[in-house]
Structures are given as structure tokens and as C-alpha cells.
Amino acid sequence: MTNLKKDGSCAAPHSGCTVMNTTAVLSALSLLAYTTALLGQTPSVPVYPEGQGSRPLAQLSKSARRLREAGSLLTADKVKEQAKRPTCELQIPASSTQPLQPREVWQRARKTHLRIGWLYMCNECEKWHLGLSGGYAITKDAAATCAHVIEPLEGMTEGYLVAADDDDNLYAVSEVLAANRALDTAIVRLKTDALSPLPFGVDVQPGDTVYCFSDPMDRRGYFSQGMVNRFVKRPFLRKREIREMQGQTDGAKTSESNATSGKPHSVPPLPTPTWLEVNTEWAPGSSGSAVLDACGNVVGHVSEIESVLEDPLPDAKRAERRARGTVIVFHDAIAAGNVLSLIKQPPPAKSPPPK
């Protein structure tokens, strides 16, 4: 039964009004949801473009090519030469002891995160390419990353080292301050004085919470939380690379003191890094990104990832071919102490003599 208003008009709304009002409400809700998603919950959270047509590196590559044309970039030859520097002198910030909320660690990690890599030409085409990995600011004009990040790429015919922050501000790398391939660590200076440096922390134990902000597989701004699993000590370099480095050190030469005896020049042993194994997430593209503790200190940086697969099936069962499953994935970071071994703190300023 249809109810009647007091004025005798129909109490039930017209069906067209119902559809129109419902559509308007749904449209408003959809717009609100889209706007909220676009802002990433809050205005300070970036939403990264992905997918077909996004071309996230296009503007950075264009800016890098302009710097190259202006002669402002560090060449591959200069990088190789300066990477022989064993240490540098830097005034780095003191460790923090104030615990942070996870979102505060994200804010700090993102603010200091850098993408470091090469603007380069390859031997297969005539186009410029931009390949970036990770890094992190340690002073207002210096950053740390992996030594393998700043090594010239295979097949590169011309290359220049560049850096960018998470807001897509591009910086020229002005020099390599220090590097150690055996410790997979490099420190570079950028042409800016506006970086937000992170302090280092070495008070870390298994079970401690750690975080990583990086760009795995070109997925920008991936933030993950985990814990410290263990510490190990093993070489970073493979045996062939160690032989090559030692060959570069002495080759077939002899020192002046041993020239008459013909004894080979002694080669100092290569340092063996301490590794921090954690279960935060990273992948190719994350190398050099900082691993942070709950106070926002750098306790290491991303270096390797190793997936351990199931043992292959015995010959008798090869007919049952199937993909080998992953047993465990190890996430290996170069511990902060290795990075600190490349940094010499400047002597304290002398006080003026009393009058």
C-alpha cells in the first residue's frame, strides 16, 4: 500500500529520483575514495607512477643529459681513478638514542634516501640510458653506497655518475671520496649542501627491529620492516676478483727492497666484511640503500640477496620435472662498521689561546 502525505501527494519518491540520488552519492563517494588514494592517505605521502606509459626516469635522464652537455658530470675514468682512495675525512652526525615510530623511521629514511648510478651509452645502441641503485646521505654533501654500484657497467662505452633523491631532484657526483671493493662500500660527494644525513649505529643485536627503504626491481619507495637475524663474516669478492685485485696491486712486479732477491712484493690481505643478515625485503635495484634501526641510525646497507632452492630431483625422478621451490632467502647487508672504517673524523677544532 502506498502511503499518502497530508496534502494528498504520493509519499513514495519517483523511481527516477531514487536512481539519480543514489548515483550522485556513489559518484561523490568514488571521488572521495579516488582523491584519498591519490594523496596516499596524507598529502605528505608520495604516490609513485607505474605501469605502461609512466616513464619514471624520463625527466631525470633529460636533466642528467643537460648536466653532461654542461660538463658538470664525473666521467667513468675519473670514477675508476678516485675509487682507489682508501679513506676520507668527514664530520658525521652522532648516533641517535631516541626511539621512533615506524612512520617516523619511514619519513627519515625517505628524506635521506638517494638513487645513485650511471647515465651511460652502451655498445648495442646509440641512446642514453639511466640506471640507478640506492644510497644514503651521511653529511650534507656526501653519500654512502655499495662499491659495486659505482663500478662502470659492462658494455658501457661512455658513462657519468649521477644521483637523485626520492623527490626526483638530480645531483651531479663531484668526486669519489673513498671506496673499498672488498667491503662493498663507497663514499661520494655530491654537488649540493642540502642533503639530510643519517647517523650511524653499531649497537645492534639479533632480534632488533630494522627497516629498509629502497627501490627493488624499479618499484619506487618500498619500505619494509623486519629484524636482525644474525651476523656473519665472509668475503664479498669472489676468488677470481680477489686474484684480479691482488694482481693489480703487485702483478709480476717486485718492490725495490726485494728487487735483488727476486721475491715478490707482499700484498696486504684484503679486509673481510662483517655482514648483517635481516629479513626485511629487497631485490635488485636496492643495492646501497640504508638499513635503519628503531632510532633511525644506519646499521648497514643493502649488498646482496641469496635464494636457496630445493635440491634437484634424483636422476630417476627427472620425468617428474617441476620448478625447484625456494627454501629460504637471505638478505645480506654490509654492517655499518665496515662503512665507518673508510671515514676518519677530523680532529676537534683548537680552542683559541686565553687572553
Q: Is 264 inside any structural domain?
A: no
Q: Is 141 inside any structural domain?
A: yes
Q: Is 7 inside any structural domain?
A: no
Per-residue tens of pLDDT for the chain, all 355 residues: 433 333 333 333 344 444 445 444 445 445 444 444 554 468 889 999 998 888 889 999 999 999 999 999 999 999 999 999 999 999 999 999 999 999 999 999 999 999 999 999 999 999 999 999 999 999 999 999 999 999 999 999 999 999 999 999 999 999 999 999 999 999 999 999 999 999 999 999 999 999 999 999 999 999 999 999 999 999 999 888 887 777 754 444 433 444 444 544 555 789 999 999 999 999 999 999 999 999 999 999 999 999 998 887 666 565 566 677 889 999 999 999 999 999 998 776 666 666 6
DSSP label at residue 76: H
Q: Is 283 inside any structural domain?
A: yes
CA-to-CA dists, residue 32 to 21, 35, 40, 312, 316, angstroms: 17, 5, 12, 52, 61
- Determine how many CB atoms are found less than 10 A away from the CB of residue 253: 10
The number of domains in the chain is 1
- pTM to 2 decimals? 0.80
Is 281:216 a contact under the CB 8 Å cutoff? Answer: yes
Q: Is 9 inside any structural domain?
A: no
Q: How buried is residue 210: exposed, middle or buried, by Cβ count under 10 Å (0-12/13-18/19+)?
A: buried
| Host domain of residue 140 | 58-239+269-314+322-344
pLDDT of residue 319: 55
pLDDT of residue 11: 36
The β-bridge partners of 308 are 328
CA angle in degrees (0–180, nearest 5) for 52-131-54: 15
The total number of residues written for the chain in this structure: 355
Q: Is 43 inside any structural domain?
A: no
Residues 6+ apart with CB under 8 A from 25: none
Q: Is 49 inside any structural domain?
A: no
Q: Is 65 inside any structural domain?
A: yes
Any idea what the CATH number is for the domain that residue 93 is in?
A: 2.40.10.120
Cα 307 to its chain centre, rounded Å, is 20
pLDDT of residue 41: 67
Grid cell at residue 206: 639479533
pLDDT of residue 17: 43
| The one-letter amino acid at 254 | T
CA-to-CA dists, residue 42 to 39, 101, 237, 344, angstroms: 6, 17, 44, 41
pLDDT of residue 54: 83
CA distance 3 to 5: 7
